[in-house]
Each structure stands twice: as C-alpha cells, then as structure tokens.
Amino acid sequence: MLVRTCQSNIHVAQAARTQAFIAGKLLGVRRQIIEEPGYIGQELKVELKQGETLVLEKLATFYTSRDHAISECSLEARQAMTHSGRFEVVLARSDRLRAMNFFAEALQSDTSDIQQGTTAEGVHLGAMAGSVDLIQRVSTGIEVRGNLLHLNPELPKEMKRLDLRIRYRRHSLDLRLTRDSLTIRGRDGAAAPISLCIDNKVYKFVSGTTRTFRLNDKEAAEKNEENR
C-alpha cells in the first residue's frame, strides 16, 4: 500500500504478511480477498485436527520517502517484508535485552526436562535448534537484502563472545562478535568479492581475507570509514 500526505507530499509505504503455523510448521492456506468500499481483507481457510493449536502471524513494514539510504519506499517495504523472519525474530531485534531472558527461558524447557522424559527422547531438538538460530541471528542482526549481507551486531550483556560460521554466495565466513568488535574471516580463496553492510555502511569483502570492524563508538566509526 502506498499513500501520500497532502501538505508535506511525503510518500508512505506499507507491506504486510499474514502466515499460519501449526507446531511451528508453515501452512499453505487457502486465501480469499474480501474487498468492500473503504475496506479490504483476507479470509483464510485452514483445516485443524482436534487438539491442534493454530498460530496466525501478521507482520507489517513501514517506510517513507524521507527515510535515509533508500531509493523507493514501496520497494524497500516489500524487500524488508520478504527478508524478515518469524515474529519472534522481529520482536527480539526490537528489544534485544529482553530477548536474552526469553532465550534462557526457552532453553530451560530442555535442560530442566519440564515434560518429564521427553528430553531424552529428543523431541526438543527442533525447539533447541530454533533457539540457537534465534540468538545467532538476533545478536548479529544478520539478514540478506538485495545484493548486501547486512550485519547489525549487538551482543547481549550476558554474553562475552559469539562465534559462528555462515555460508553466503560461495563464501565460508567465520564471524567472531565481542562487545566492541566484529571480526569476519573468509575461509575460501576463490569466491568472488561480496558487499557487506555493517551498521548501515557498505564495505567490500574479498575472499580469503580477515577484517575487523570496531563497534559502538565514534572513533570506531571513523576507523571503519578509512578501511572501506
């Protein structure tokens, strides 16, 4: 949806997404558009079995023509929605301090075996994998948009360091995140150069090299700028 303010002539774009899940699995639901004067909506049809819990998840993105570093607000809204994760990822990124408390609470369901015996049976593996994936993506702020690998890192206060390896466009990248730096080491020497966007600044990364980006202070920003 794209609208324009009358007096200031500011364009405002919204993109929205509604998804249905059962036990964490995305469903292919039947949708019907309902359109009336001054109103538009969707009717979703889902088949449920007795005892199943349906989760409806709706996310929306908003951009305006005054936002920095974008070319067109409606395009940016659509791209942001396309690359956004589940609701818990978006929520965690909006309040990273509380996200760590939720992470610890989720882990307790496995380490404390709250269902008395299911831990040994392995039924929690999906939930635990999701929890680890959540802390990795939230702490690094990692997402792919356009031709850029975006990283907006912020380590929770309960953690001193986070190490992980990712694959991106034939690059095998080792990431080490601390409170004041992000180090990226390329393990492959033959992949084509890629572009990274770190704290809203774009850098070129060559395979087989190592780069360290200082975080959280003005001096760090100036040092990173010199190395772009």
Q: Does a structural domain hold residue 22?
A: yes
Range of the domain at 186: 141-226
Q: Does a structural domain hold residue 123?
A: no
Final residue in a domain of this structure, among 64, 84, 104: 84
- For residue 126, what are the CA distances in angstroms to 4, 23, 25, 53? 44, 10, 11, 17
Considering the domain architecture, whether residues 149 and 219 belong to the same structural domain is answered as yes
Q: Does a structural domain hold residue 219?
A: yes
Q: Does a structural domain hold residue 117?
A: no
Q: Give the chain's mean pLDDT.
A: 82
d(CA 212, CA 184): 6
Considering the domain architecture, whether residues 222 and 149 belong to the same structural domain is answered as yes
Q: Could you report the per-residue pLDDT of 133-169, keeping only the tens digit for each?
A: 777 877 888 888 778 898 988 887 778 999 999 999 9
Per the model's pLDDT, the better-predicted residue between 121 and 94 turns out to be: 94
Final residue in a domain of this structure, among 61, 84, 107: 84
pLDDT of res. 183: 96
Q: Does a structural domain hold residue 27?
A: yes
Q: Does a structural domain hold residue 113?
A: no
Considering the domain architecture, whether residues 77 and 148 belong to the same structural domain is answered as no
Q: Does a structural domain hold residue 105?
A: no
Residues 6 or more apart in contact with residue 121 via CB below 8 angstroms: none
Q: Does a structural domain hold residue 20?
A: yes
148-151 and 143-145 strand pairing: antiparallel
Buried b (16+ CB within 10 A) or exposed e, 135-145: bebbbbbbbee
Structural domain count of the chain: 2
CATH of the domain at 214: 2.60.420.10
Q: Could you report the per-residue pLDDT of 158-202, keeping only the tens digit for each?
A: 789 999 999 999 999 999 999 899 999 998 778 899 999 997 789
